[in-house]
Every structure is written in structure tokens, then in C-alpha cells.
Amino acid sequence: MTELQLQELLSEMSLGEKIEQMIQFHGGFYGDVKLITGPGHDYSVKPDQQWRIGTVLGEAGYEHLKKLQEGFMEKQPHHIPAIFMSDVIHGYRTIYPVPLGQGASFDPELTRELAEATAKEASAAGLHVTFSPMCDLSRDARWGRCMEGTGEDPWLNARFAEAMVSGYQGDGIDKQGNIAACVKHFAAYGAATAGRDYSGVELCERTLLEDYLPSYEAAVKAGAPLVMSAFNTINRIPCSTNQWLMRKILRERMGFDGVVISDYGAVQETVVHTSSYDKKDAAAKALRAGLDIDMMSDCYLSYLEEQAKESEELRRLIDESCLRVLELKNRLGLFDDPVRGSKELEEKYFYCDAHKELSVRAARESAILLKNEGLLPLAKECRITVVGKLATSTKIVGSWAIFAESDKTVTFGEAVKCRYPEAKVEVYPYDTADEKMLAACKRSDAVIVCMGEEDEKSGESKSISDVSLCREHQMLFDAVYGVNEKILSLIYAGRPLAIPMLAEKSEAILDAWYPGTFGNIGIWELIFGDANPCGRVPMSFPYTTGQLPMSYSAFTTGRPVEDRNGFVPFASNYMDVPNTALYPFGWGLSYSTFEYSSVVLSHDTLTEDGKITATVTVTNKGTMDGKEPVQLYIRDVKGSVIRPCRELKGLQKPFVKAGETVTVSFDITTELLRFYNEDMEFVAEPGEFKVWIGGSSLTKNEAEFRLA
């Protein structure tokens, strides 16, 4: 349709029809539902009204959605098709590593490939929109949904966010094989107080703008046509009714002109927050804030029309919101072809060889070798005992894999048989030790202890107060350690766990996150040395929960502590643990040793519109080819406000053959140096800067330059 035709359609619609386009129901209104994430609802739905609303949540499958769409086309007075949306977060049928695991790959291009493959499967199943990427920066591992984002760093999160949007949307959201991205959760949901889901957020404006908003903006600039409002509060106003956040920041400052949808039931929850008097008040406030679609509450459905009849302002805002929904449907091509996908496409893409191999590769590149004292890689001829329930669990694909089929998931115990059928591996899938298990461990060349959390332990509403390894797994490890110290600790989890005991006693630690449907095959390839680990920590591993929230890019204080062991009185430090992380952002080992040259700068002075090129050479001193995530960090030494100790501002991941030397260069411009000064102006201030290039945030490979 042309814009004029859309305007004409809008003018022909009744007020009630317009509001109905601004509603989202889940599949329970049509006889089926995949996942309910909020409280039950008692709506006053008029006869056949469910067939007139604008969008549907959580339903998928070509034949099923085809029938649903036929119902909408028949019963909506103007034959307006519905949009089918769902949480397709890290795969549809073929499941890939959780987003936090993808963040550990330090490879946004890999994530773009994963999003592209996900879109092919989801589109084949009839879906139009995915509620992804989740751009919520998180520095608190207690928060269950940290697994759904890509970590603690603003710059890296932004790169992953734009990569996901690009992968999902391809050459157009109206094309078969592509789906539209919905950026969530706007904003700063990852900073929920005490890591408790749905809790409020308390951030200063400068922290919000500099740290938490860049990833959302990157996704918006990449072309995402939808944004989802968050459950939390900002400035003590719920996001779904927050005019400053939704209109001033999102629409005016970021230039977003697409559709804003609430999270599940979030509009009516503003009444419980006590910032809305009742549902009628909540509906008006959300509309004034620029919220176009009310997901799974009856605020718009039951309380908007009556007050809009008495308010020209509300009628105008309804027209604006309804038109945005119609424009999205037009961009999706639904007025020309309301049914997406086919049985043939489902058969072509679900679990296809290309997606299976991508799942394996993604798991290889997402896993992090946290420690290795020479145990890995294991020789294929050695005797190996694997212990722990997670060795045979299918609950390692990750939360929000709602369309996954557990019988397709390859467990760790099965994966070794698939890839290495001749391997001498015994599996004891128990979390408590017995004599037979311990005897097998004692006679083995190495023991792999599978620990961590099944995927039902992380995700939405899965906040925890203690991120330590569970006592059951600590006891299992100790029992095995008593008979054989050659232990590889294999961690499955959706968050960074506090594992100081494993760090002390294990000969090797490999964090696999939740690797997806076929990912365990890739984990075995790493263990046997057919692939070289290249994952890096995307979210710092604490020594203990009491350090949270934490980040490598923390600020100094008036009483800083130098890098040293032991407690320093009257300084900013803990009495019982270091300030720093057990495994900090950017950390990760390889089977090769990568040697960096000194940083060479093309100039020592940067002008406002100029650039400095920072260069290093990287040499693979090992005997195995591998990828090395080369990281650029910058520090503004002095500012009108305090500045982080260092910030990631560049990343490359070259493949370096054994014995080879490669040159890696980064361009530094004033754009990388901007921040909000004391007057809240986004500027780069003249002065001294430090730049580091190395293999983690701990690198000391440093140079200095000046901004004139």
C-alpha cells in the first residue's frame, strides 16, 4: 500500500477498530499457547474481538498460523491481517548458544550469521517478528536474564545488537527468510536493583546515557522497526508510561519512528507500581508516552475508547499509534501476502546440515577456556571418565528456546559418540559419588566433571541471591578430586558463576554456557584439540556474590588500591576478597600463545576531525592455528567528570596460523572519546589519553596520545 492508501484505510476505521490494532493477545485466545510469562487475565472480550486485534504473541508453525491468519482476514471488518510475533532469541528449532555465550565469542559477525539462520527457520514457520535483540547491559549475575544479553560492555553490546538486527532483517523484512527485529527492553532492565527481576532501576542520567543506552540506539540505527518497553522504572516512573524516556530519548534523540510495544502486562502493572491510579489512568499515560501496542493487558482494550471519545488529544494519539502499526504491516508485506512460510520451507531449514554445523561452530567459538595447566587438549587415546547429571541432560539449550525439541538435543555424553566413536569415555550421570564412579575416576587419565545449572535455572524470573556453584556440585568435585586431580571442570550456565574453588583446584576449566542443540559436539572438538578455544569473558566472573554488580570498566576512587594482595586499611577494598574479578572481561585462554608487539601510534596528537592509527603485530608462538580476539581499550586520564579506568573501543578477531605474524590496526577518532561532561554535553575534552591493545582487559601493552 502507498502512504495515501494507509491514510485512507485509517480514516475508514472506527475508533474501536483502531484501538484493536493496538492490542496483542497470546495464543490462548485462539485455543493454544506456548508460554505464559505473566499472571492470568480476565478480559471482557466482545464476540469475535480476538479476530480483530492487531498482533498475536507466542504462536508459530506454518499450518497453524495460516489458519489463524485466515480467521483474521475473514472476520476483521477491513480484512486487516495480523502480525505474528514471538520470542525467537537464539534459534527457532535449531538452537544456538545463548546470547551471553554469543557475546563470549567476541565475534559479532558470527552472531549475524546465527540471526540470519534463525530468521530462515522462524520465517518458514510463519513468524513475522522476533522479540530480539535484548540490548540490556548487565553487570549483575544474580539477574536471571543476563543470559539473554551479550554482557557488561556498552561498546561490545552495541556491535552485537546491530549484528543481530542485520542478520534477522537481511535485505528487507518483507522478504521470505527474514523477520523483523524488536529491540528490548527499553530501557536499562539489566540494572534491576539487587539483580531481582521486575525490580526498579536507580541510575544517574549520565550512567544511563553512556553505558546503558548505546546498544539500544545501535539496534535502532541498524533499522529495527520495533522497540519493547521494559518492566522496570527509570527516574521512578515505569518505562511503559515514561514520556521522557519514550518520547524525548527514544523518539526525539534516537530518531526512532517505528512501533513501541509493551512487555507482557506491563501497562496494567503501572497500577501496581502505584504510579497509575487505575487501568484507565494507565491506558492514557501509556498512550501519551508513545506506547503503540499494549501486550497482554486490557488497559487499551477496555479503558481507552471511552475516554478517547471525550478527548481530541487521545484520538489524535490513537491515530498516530494505529497508523504506525498499519505501516509496520505494510513494511512486512502483509497486505500483499498475509501468510508467510510453507511446509516445504520448514522441511528445508529445520535442523538442516548448514544450521547444524553452524550450531557446532558457534559453541566452539563461544566456549571459554578459563584455566589450563597443561591438561587440555586431551589425547584421543586417553581414558576419560565423565561425571555429573549435566553430562546426559538435554536442559542445556538455554532459556527462551521455546520452540526447541528436546529429543533433538545432543547431550554431552551422546556428542562424544557422534564425533569420536572410538574414544574411551565412561559416563556416570550422577551428582553424587559412589564407589563404582570413584573407581572409574581413579583409573582414568582425566575426569570431566559437568557442573553448573540446567537451563531452567536462568532466564526470566530466575534471579538468585547467590551465584556460587551449588553445594551438590562442590561435593561432587571434592569427591572426584580425592581420587584424581586431573580434572576438567566443564561449566554449563546462563550466568558467570562464582567458582574460586574450581579456579584453585581444577587443572582446566571450560565454560560452555548453554551451547544449543548440537553445541556439545563442538565442546568435544575443543577438548580433543580439533579446535582451538577462542572465547572471551563477556561478563566478569566474581569471586563471590558480594562483589556484584561489577565491571572491568569501574571508576577509581579517592582512595584507590593498587594491584596487590591483602587488605589495605582506609582504602576502597574488601577485607575478604579482591576488588577485581576472578576472571575479568576479555579473559580467555588458547592452546596457542599469542605474543603482542608494543603499540605503535601513527601520531601522538589527535585533532578534532583527524585520526590516529594504533597498530600492533600479533604472533602465534604455538603449534596450533587459532583465532585471537585483539582488544583496544582507551582511558581518558582526566575529565570534567570522573572517567572509567578503561573502556573497550575496538575489536578484531584475526585467524593466525601457527608461527605466523599478523598486523592489526585500529583507527582512533574523537567519536570514540566522547562522553557527557559536567554540563551534560556530549563532547571529547582535550587532554591526555592512554590506549591499550591486547588479549584481555588486563593487558598492560600501553601507549599515550593527546587530544588537542
Measured N-to-C along each axis, helices 154-169 and 108-124 cross at an angle, to the nearest 10 degrees, of: 30
What local confidence, expressed as pLDDT, does residue 34 receive?
A: 54
Question: What does the DSSP assignment read for 445-490?
Answer: SEEEEEEE--GGGSSTT---S--BPPHHHHHHHHHHHTT---EEEE
Identify whether the C-beta of residue 685 lies closer than 8 Å to the C-beta of residue 582.
no
636 vs 555: CA distance, rounded Å: 11
213 vs 250: CA distance, rounded Å: 10
- Residues of the chain falling short of pLDDT 50: none
Cell matching residue 290: 508513545
Length of the chain: 708
Which of 256-265 are b and which e, b meaning 16 or more Cβ less than 10 Å from the residue's Cβ?
bebbbbbbbb
Neighbour count for residue 633 (Cβ, 10 Å): 27
Beta partners for residue 410, in sequence order: none
Phi, psi values for residue 50, rounded to 5° = -60, -20
Q: Which residues contact 397 (CB under 8 A, 6 or more apart)?
A: 95, 404, 406, 409, 455, 514, 515, 516, 517
Selection from 99, 223, 98, 102 nearest residue 166 by Cα: 223
Cell matching residue 49: 474481538
Question: What does the DSSP assignment read for 30-66?
Answer: GT--S---S------PPTTGGGTSSEEES---HHHHH
Selection from 264, 281, 284 nearest residue 55 by Cα: 264
Known catalytic residues are: 263
Burial group, residue 682, by CB count within 10 angstroms (0-12, 13-18, 19+): exposed
Burial group, residue 187, by CB count within 10 angstroms (0-12, 13-18, 19+): buried
Instruction: Name residue 616's amino acid.
Output: V
Beta partners for residue 55, in sequence order: 24, 83
What local confidence, expressed as pLDDT, does residue 39 receive?
A: 53
Half-sphere exposure of 487 (CA within 13 A, CB side): 27
554 vs 591: CA distance, rounded Å: 30
Selection from 544, 548, 703, 549 nearest residue 613 by Cα: 703
599 vs 164: CA distance, rounded Å: 32
Distances (CA, A) of 5 to 8, 14, 16, 78: 5, 16, 20, 13
Identify whether the C-beta of residue 662 lies closer than 8 Å to the C-beta of residue 656.
yes
What local confidence, expressed as pLDDT, does residue 43 receive?
A: 78
Name the DSSP class of 246.
I
Could you give all domains of the chain from N- to C-terminal order, each with its CATH number? 356-547 (3.40.50.1700), 594-707 (2.60.40.10)
Name the DSSP class of 332.
T
What local confidence, expressed as pLDDT, does residue 566 receive?
A: 86
